[in-house]
Structure 1
Amino acid sequence: MRLRSLVAVLAASAIALTGCSGDTEAAGDSTVRVGVTPQPHGEILQYVKDNLAEQAGISIEIKQFNDYNRPNAAVLHGELDATYHQHKPFLKTYEQERGGDLVWVAPVHLEPLGLYSKKYSSPQEIPNGATITIPNDPSNRARSLKLLEDKGLITLKPGAGQEAGVRDIAENPRNLQLQELSASQIPRTLQDAAAAVVNGNYALKADLDKPIAIESPKGNPYVNGLVTSSAKQDNPEIAKLAELLTSQEVTDFIKREYGGQFVIPAS
């Protein structure tokens, strides 16, 4: 009888432990692993994690990267569930060049590109033959060229769009030398150039002063947003995260934290 009682107790304990293990796994299922660049994406997502996620019933694990390509690769390899660091043109170019099946989920904010200089206070002051550094990834390269065109420094060929390159420059009256660098490297080399086109997140990270020219947010296609894999696009936790990132609370946080200049909520 004692032996039977002991077996019964052990069996009940095993069932209880199995149940606990299952509960832990179920709870773990609500964790969303998200790849971000530190500023502003990591800061915005940290605000969501600290202030909104628990009430919404999800847990957020944040993984920071200092380049634009590795977060997408991590999602495709199953190491992450989503990324929050890119805009649609960059996503399109990434898939064309590297493959993969990624899905745009929701727009969150815009980081207007800025033209920065430690030597000149306006685009008009930049002299003939000066060097301007621009990002070398295709989507931000085209975006940079459009900014330079809008400020009267160059003219692009008719029809040059979101994949424009230096080859698409029709007129360069000042004979400007455009040097292409990784977007993350450009702030560190600003002192060596007449001016540089810098992405908003890297301008924030480098604590740059006010730009001498800035990209217009009106009708801008380069809004940053949440991206996942096609396999996880119907995941309810991804949907909850998208809802939080586009909430009024996050909109107010972005306005309060970044002052409406370097980071602008998606409209």
Structure 2
Amino acid sequence: MKKSYLWLLGIVLVIVLGALGLHQVNSQQTKSATITVGSMGSDYAIWQHIAKSAEAKKLGLKIKVKQVTDGVQLNKATAEGSIDVNAFQSWTYYVAFNKQSKSSKLAALGTTYMEPMGIYSKKYQKVKDIPDGATIAVADNPSQQARGLVLLQKAGLIKLKKNFDVALGSINDIASNPKKLKFKQIDDTTGPRVLHTVDAVLISNTVALEGHLHVLSDSIYHEAVDQSTKANINILATAKKNKNNENYKKLVTLYHEKSIQKYIKDKYYGTKVNVAKPLSYIEK
């Protein structure tokens, strides 16, 4: 009986020690695991800088940055897990994706910045100069088109329906168009290239920067950064199942580090306005 008892105790000890060892290995792997951040355009350049920064090392984060040129595909890759976190989209773009995606859902980790969308024109210096029957180029993707239409309304060019969806609203939701403007739907990344072919173009700041345009000086009208545009704040997003991942949340803290913000401000001329707010600020 005594030998059997000792033998059984020995087996239990082996199992317990093995489990503890496995837990330690898993913990080490979790700490040292590389986080793949998917991004595009100027955000890709920012995250390349962040990945190499001393601040990332201080937080114990190993970051690999992957460039993806299509926002929908980047969101799908994130929701499916081949990308851990993505850094490129506004809150409205994120909401639109989740509304349209039946199975693959995303979760927001935190806010990053807000950059104004602008109305650009090579023909006219002021919004009031845009004539009747002018052609305005707007994005063909839902969130950017909706955002652009809200901007046109603020500029006094159109009026939208009262129940306009700021994430998925379209040109079909225009209630009043006194100037009888015509709308040309374009790939939102081509805005600077079509600037010479239409009367005015709505261009997001990331795309404008790539086209060597500065929203604060080159646009004829642009968004204000205030409560009315909070839905256009950019976020970091991950797959819904990873929304409580502590290392992923550290990326939000990392983005707002003073030295990182100085780099962004200097490189992008203050057009990416830092927004260090809780998600509840946008969700209200």
Tell me if both proteins adopt one fold, taking TM over 0.5 as the criterion.
yes
Distance verdict in 2 for CA 1:170–1:106, change over 3 Å: same
Q: Which runs of at least 4 in structure 1 moved beyond 6 Å after TM superposition?
A: none
Unaligned ranges ≥5, structure 2:
1-24, 277-284
Q: Deviations over 1:204-245 (max 9, x none)?
A: 111125111101111121111110112222223212212101
Question: What aligned pairs does 1:91-240 form with structure 2 within 5 A after superposition?
Answer: 91-99=94-102, 100-162=104-166, 163-209=168-214, 210-219=218-227, 220=229, 221-240=231-250
TM-score in terms of structure 1 length: 0.85
Bigger drift between 115-124 and 196-205 goes to 115-124
Q: Which amino acid in the other structure matches residue 243 of structure 2?
A: Q
Q: Which amino acid in the other structure matches residue 55 of structure 1?
A: K
CA contact (8 A) 1:66 1:184 kept: no
TM-score in terms of structure 2 length: 0.80
Aligned position for 2:268: 258
Bigger drift between 52-61 and 26-35 goes to 26-35
Query: Counterpart of 1:121 in 2: which secondary structure?
Result: coil
In 2, the alpha carbon distance for the partners of 1:33 and 1:158 equals 41
Query: Counterpart of 2:112 in 1: which secondary structure?
Result: strand
Query: Counterpart of 2:219 in 1: which secondary structure?
Result: coil
Query: Does the alignment pair 1:55 with 2:63?
Result: no
Query: Counterpart of 1:70 in 2: which secondary structure?
Result: helix
CA contact (8 A) 2:79 2:240 kept: no
In 1, the alpha carbon distance for the partners of 2:255 and 2:203 equals 24
CA RMSD of aligned residues (A): 2.0
CA contact (8 A) 2:80 2:239 kept: no
Once the two structures are TM-superposed, the CA of residue 175 in structure 1 deviates from its matched residue by: 0.9
In 2, the alpha carbon distance for the partners of 1:226 and 1:249 equals 19
In 2, the alpha carbon distance for the partners of 1:241 and 1:57 equals 11
Once the two structures are TM-superposed, the CA of residue 29 in structure 1 deviates from its matched residue by: 4.2
Equivalenced residue count is: 244
In 2, the alpha carbon distance for the partners of 1:80 and 1:132 equals 35
CA contact (8 A) 2:192 2:208 kept: yes
Aligned position for 1:67: 70
Q: Which amino acid in the other structure matches residue 238 of structure 2?
A: T
In 2, the alpha carbon distance for the partners of 1:27 and 1:164 equals 41
Aligned position for 1:12: none
Aligned position for 2:14: none
Q: Deviations over 1:132-162 (max 9, x none)?
A: 1011221211111111111111111223241
Aligned position for 2:10: none
Once the two structures are TM-superposed, the CA of residue 248 in structure 1 deviates from its matched residue by: 2.7
Unaligned ranges ≥5, structure 1:
1-21
